[in-house]
């Protein structure tokens, strides 16, 4: 095969690969726009990473233990109790997040009802954070693992190692950090 044909094949492959990623990003954006309520502000990962915000993780404890944004506080969702943030002044800049932003939007409502005034929902949640190449952590330090919630929701997570149970894809519990 000639060099020109090889280059053409690589170019076509690259264009197809790029267009699939772009198409998935567009689909994700459209999907999120249908789920988010307009009266709750969202914040992009690019803005969120460049300011001093308090991050609140509204996912399950299994999801949080798998990985979370550095220094995030776990508040949960189903039994979200604002006891975890009683020490936080009401004017603190807060970003709530979950996998994609649906559960965190509900916690956003609770925070505003409790008097917090500067609260944002992380656009695209931890999935967007990881898809944008930003780091996540667990008790062992930086990790590539992200709890993907379910295989249906996990399709939106393009980067990172998808975990469906704490620690390993096959569901076994990972009890220790190995460094």
Under a CB-based contact definition with an 8 Å cutoff, are residues 72 and 63 in contact? no
Higher pLDDT, residue 23 or 113: 113
The rounded distance, in Å, linking the Cα atoms of 39 and 99 is 20
Backbone dihedral angles phi then psi of residue 2, each to the nearest 5 degrees: -75, 160
CA 120 to chain CA centroid, nearest Å: 14
Query: What are 128-177's pLDDT values in tens digits?
Result: 999 999 999 999 999 999 999 888 888 899 999 999 865 444 444 454 55
Under a CB-based contact definition with an 8 Å cutoff, are residues 94 and 88 in contact? yes
Closest CA relative to residue 105, chosen from 11, 162, 33 = 33
Closest CA relative to residue 134, chosen from 148, 122, 151, 150 = 122
Q: What is the mean pLDDT of the chain?
A: 81
What is the reported pLDDT for 14?
Answer: 44
Pairing of strands 118-122, 42-43: parallel
Is the confidence at residue 110, as pLDDT, over 80?
A: yes
Neighbours of 121 (CB within 10 A): 26
Is the confidence at residue 3, as pLDDT, over 80?
A: no
Higher pLDDT, residue 87 or 24: 87
Q: How confident is the model at residue 7 (pLDDT cuts 50, 70, 90)?
A: low
In eight-state DSSP terms, residue 72 is P
């Amino acid at each position: 095969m000639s060099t020109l044909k090889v280059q053409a094949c690589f170019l076509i492959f690259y264009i197809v690969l790029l267009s699939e990623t772009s198409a998935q990003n567009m689909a994700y954006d459209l999907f999120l726009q249908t789920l988010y309520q307009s009266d709750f502000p969202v914040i992009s990962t690019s803005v969120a990473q460049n300011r001093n915000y308090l991050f609140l993780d509204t996912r399950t404890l299994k999801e949080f233990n798998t990985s979370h944004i550095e220094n995030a506080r776990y508040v949960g969702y189903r039994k979200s109790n604002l006891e975890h943030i009683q020490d936080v002044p009401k004017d603190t800049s807060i970003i709530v997040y979950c996998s994609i932003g649906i559960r965190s939007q509900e916690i956003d409502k609770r925070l505003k009802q409790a008097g917090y005034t500067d609260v944002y929902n992380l656009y695209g949640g931890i999935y967007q954070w990881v898809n944008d190449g930003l780091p996540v952590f667990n008790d062992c330090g930086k990790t590539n693992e992200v709890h993907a919630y379910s295989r249906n929701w996990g399709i939106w997570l393009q980067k990172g190692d998808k975990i469906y149970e704490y620690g390993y894809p096959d569901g076994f519990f990972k009890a220790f950090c190995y460094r």
